[in-house]
Amino acid sequence: MTTLTIEISEKAGKTLADLVEQLGGKVISVKEDKKQSKAAKKEQILKDLEESVQFVKQHQAGKVEAKSIEQLLNEL
């Protein structure tokens, strides 16, 4: 099976997705416009940052143990 990545207008995307499914294909992903994509990326970055801050606070309180720089470098 072949996988294609294409960029088309939103209106044409719905029609093309229907056609692909009628031909027995499968639409794996439909990406929204770039503005929504940027908003989603920003939201993910803020979520990741909040998780990092919470981890640092837990580490400072002695509730979790952080990896050493050597351990992190060895993972690479």
Comparison of pLDDT for 33 and 3, the residue scoring more: 3
Contact predicate 17/30, CB 8 Å: yes
> Which pLDDT tens digit goes with each residue over 13-34?
878 888 888 888 888 776 665 6
37 near 31, Cβ under 8 Å? yes
- Kindly tell me the sign of the dihedral angle through the C-alpha atoms of 45, 50, 52, 53: positive
Domain boundaries, the chain: 1-31, 32-76
Q: Specify the pTM.
A: 0.48
How confident is the model over 58-75, as a mean pLDDT? 91
Token pair, residue 62, equals 């002695």
